[in-house]
Structure 1
Amino acid sequence: MKNLALATISLTVLAGASLAAGEGTDPAGVWLRDDGNARVKIASCGEALCATNLWIGDSSGGEEVGDMLVMTVKPESNGELVGTAYDRKRDRTYSITIEKKNGRLVTRGCLLGRLLCRDVSWTPAQ
C-alpha cells in the first residue's frame, strides 16, 4: 500500500494545458502528505503534470527524493481531475482522481481496474 501512496502522490499531479478550464482545480504547488512523510512539488511538465518527491520522512516503503509521477488528467464536470499517473521508477500506471477543496488536495490512486484504491490528503506547504 505504501507504493500506492506514492502513486497518489507522494502524488500527487496533472495536465497543464487542460487545467485552464477551471480556476481552483490547478493542483500546482508544494504539498505535504497528511501522514507527515512526504513533501511533493506538483508542476506542469509538457502536456502533463509531474509530482516530484522533494522530501521523504520514511523511506522504508521504497520512496525516495526525486521519485516522480507523470500524470495526464482532464477536468470533469464535478471539478475533479481524472486520468492516469505513471510511476517511472516502478513502471506502473495507476488511475488517479484529484480533488481540490478548501485549499486541500485529496488524491485517489487505483490499481486493478479500480478494485484496489487509496485516498491521500494533502495540505499546502508553508
Structure 2
Amino acid sequence: MTTRTALVAAVLFAALAPAAANAQSASGPQGTWLTQAGDARVRIKSCGAALCGSIVWLKQPIDPNTGNPQVDDKNPDPARAARPVLGLQIFGDMRPVSQGKWSGHIYNADDGKTYQSSISHTGPTTLYVEGCVGTLCGGETWTLAGR
C-alpha cells in the first residue's frame, strides 16, 4: 500500500466511522427479542419518539386447557381479557432517558398488571428489561432473535 493510498484509506475511515457508530446507536433495540424464559418473542420498533413492543411469537400459542389461542385472561378488564396474547402490545411509551436506556411502562400478561419499566441495551445481542412496583424491581435479560 502506498503512502497516498494509506492516507486516503485513513481519511475515509475517519469520515465514515462516526456515521456508522451514530447509525448503530440511533437504531436502538429495534428488532425481535427472545424473553429470558424462551417462551415469547417481542418485536420492538420505533413509534414516533417512543419504542413499542409487541408479542410476535409464543412457545405455546394454544392454551392447553381450552384448545384455543392464548388470551389475556389475567387482565382485570373483562373487555380486554379475551384479546389474543399473540400480537399484544406490551409497551408503547418507552422513551430515551440516557444512552442505551429507555423508560416507560410494560404490561405483564402473566399477571394482568402494568409496571414502571426500563429497557437497557446491555450488549449488541442483549437487552435488560426491568419492571418496578415502588422501589421493588425485577428484571430479565432478553436476547436478540433477529432483526
TM more than 0.5: yes
Q: How many residues align?
A: 103
Rate the CA distance shift 1:53–1:73 in 2: closer, same or farther, 3 A: closer
Q: Relative to structure 2, which stretch is displaced further, 48-57 or 90-99? A: 90-99
**RMSD of aligned alpha carbons:** 3.3
Q: Which has the larger radius of gyration?
A: 2
Which 5+ residue runs of structure 1 have no aligned equivalent? 1-19
Separation in 1, partners of 2:127, 2:53: 13
Separation in 1, partners of 2:135, 2:60: 27
Rate the CA distance shift 1:114–1:24 in 2: closer, same or farther, 3 A: farther
Is structure 2 residue 96 aligned with structure 1 residue 75?
A: yes
Q: Secondary structure at the match of 1:76?
A: strand
Which 5+ residue runs of structure 2 have no aligned equivalent? 1-21, 64-69, 73-84
| Structure with more of its chain in helix, by fraction | 2
Stretches of 4+ aligned residues off by more than 3 angstroms: 58-63, 76-79, 85-88, 90-93
Separation in 2, partners of 1:45, 1:79: 17
* TM-score, normalization by structure 2: 0.55
Is structure 2 residue 102 aligned with structure 1 residue 84?
A: no
Q: Is the 2:32–2:42 Cα contact (8 Å) retained in structure 1?
A: yes
Is structure 2 residue 125 aligned with structure 1 residue 125?
A: no
**1:22-101 pair list within 5 angstroms:** 23=25, 26-58=28-60, 64-77=85-98, 79-85=100-106, 92-101=113-122
Q: Secondary structure at the match of 1:23?
A: helix
Q: Is the 1:107–1:121 Cα contact (8 Å) retained in structure 2?
A: yes
Rate the CA distance shift 1:50–1:124 in 2: closer, same or farther, 3 A: same
Larger RCO (CA under 8 A, 6+ residues apart): 1
Rate the CA distance shift 1:47–1:74 in 2: closer, same or farther, 3 A: closer
Separation in 2, partners of 1:92, 1:46: 25
Tell me the equivalent position of 2:19. none
Deviation at 1:87, TM superposition (A): 6.8
Rate the CA distance shift 1:58–1:41 in 2: closer, same or farther, 3 A: same
